[in-house]
Amino acid sequence: MLLNFSFDNWMSYYEKNNFSMIATRERQHNGRIPRIKKYDMRVLPISAIYGGNASGKTNFCFALKFVKKMIVSGTGSQSDKLINIEPFRLDKKAAQMPSRFSMDLLIDETIYQFSFAVTRSKVVEEKLVKITSTSEVVLYNRQNDKPNFDQSLKHDEALKYAFKGTRDNQLFLTNSVSQKIDTFRPIYEWFKDKLVLVAPDDRFQAYDSFIDEKDPLYITMNEILPLLDTGVIELEGESILLENAAIPDKLKEDLKENVSEDNPILVMSPAEHKWYTVSVEDGEFIAKKLVTYHDNAEGGKTKFEIFHESDGTRRVLDLLPAILDLTDSESGKVYIIDEIDRSLHTLLSKQLIQYYLSNCSESSRSQLVMTTHDLLLMNQDLLRRDEMWVTERSRDGKTSMYSFSEFKDVRYDKDIRKSYMQGRLGGIPRVLLDSYAVCREVE
């Protein structure tokens, strides 16, 4: 689970900002708040981030995306490749300063804090701390290209060897895993497998597993879809041999080299503008596409290609697998969904979120963090005050983010939307078109 995420000198975030999923003492919706008994801590299952356009909501998501990419794949194998950071651009000093990131994570009921600082050319700091209920142990601390290992790791020759082979532009955590050292693998795998980022225009690739009749969630997907008033009554996967798919021959050869039974690959056909999932089944290379079915006037059903569906329906098909995955008690995923309400009717967005929250309990370990403009979701009957955040950009271009729980006068029974729209909680755009119109009339 994600507990805290702090960062600075990243895009519009110049100063350090801290985003927390640790619950406050608020009592609302307590029954669905996960409890970590070992640490006497409650962790929020959801957070909604509001703010005006260009206030920094998406930049927050980009920060998490950068952290994941830096840990999972880094800068590749090139020692001289620059690190793709985006420091604050409205202050010349920021370009010479490192960008810093720190995350507190709950992994297998143990808390770890992983932090690092980078410039375009190198990693200047990196630290991993294991936090128990009674103490904190710095497993390693990398500064000035030198490691400082905890006493329990000082004599581990494999770790020392891995550190010597770590490039300036590479995280030691990443290199140790690439060297098949398992000491820090749980942290690496959390970022690789548990942290899922979905951008507004992303096709959520995982939904292709939901069109496999053998998948346990296939039935659930097809039971829920007819209830969402999209017109779709059924999803199905159609399979053809890869050789018969309208995919360039060069791409087919590349796919054959990289695809396996455990590693299906999503690819678009340039000729048909259709997505295929390419996999290996019984020794054959198979291309599978998603199709939908609608009721027809004759009492039967008619097949539709995905591109025939509306943007809203396709967005539902992208998001529903994520919601179902979040409700799986074994998932433990953390989904970061930017603009969750894009192309969706506000009632549909609310229903999807309510469905997820109705499956949350003290034993849940999944989380949903979303950015949104949907004010219908800004409702204390749905979300707690500590689950609602705002990003605000100052006149000098710097973003700050804060939770509604920081406002002492926001009562649990208050119409929080009204206060927000009146500008009393910040995070709304400063639009001056009215004054411009008045000036034109005077002229």
Strands 301-305, 265-269: pairing kind: unpaired
Please give the domain boundaries of the chain with CATH numbers for all domains. 1-202+329-443 (3.40.50.300), 205-318 (no CATH)
pLDDT at 203: 63
What rounded mean pLDDT belongs to the chain?
Answer: 89
CB atoms within 10 A of CB 299: 6
Residue 282 has pLDDT above 90, yes or no: no
Distances (CA, A) of 245 to 207, 279, 373: 20, 13, 40
The two structure tokens encoding residue 427: 């995070």
404 within 8 A of 392, measured Cβ to Cβ:
no
What secondary structure does DSSP assign to 191-214, as a single string? IIIIEEEE-TT---GGGGGGG-TT
Residue 344 has pLDDT above 70, yes or no: yes
The strand pairing partners of 131, in sequence order, are 111, 136
Q: How far apart are CA 340 and CA 353, in angstroms?
A: 10
Among 48-62, 380-394, 397-411, the range scoring the smallest mean pLDDT is: 397-411
pLDDT at 239: 86
Q: How far apart are CA 29 and CA 50, in angstroms?
A: 21
Residue with tokens 């159609």: 238
- DSSP, collapsed to helix, strand or coil, labels residue 230 as coil
The pTM (predicted TM-score) of the whole model is 0.90
Q: Position 325: which residue type?
A: D
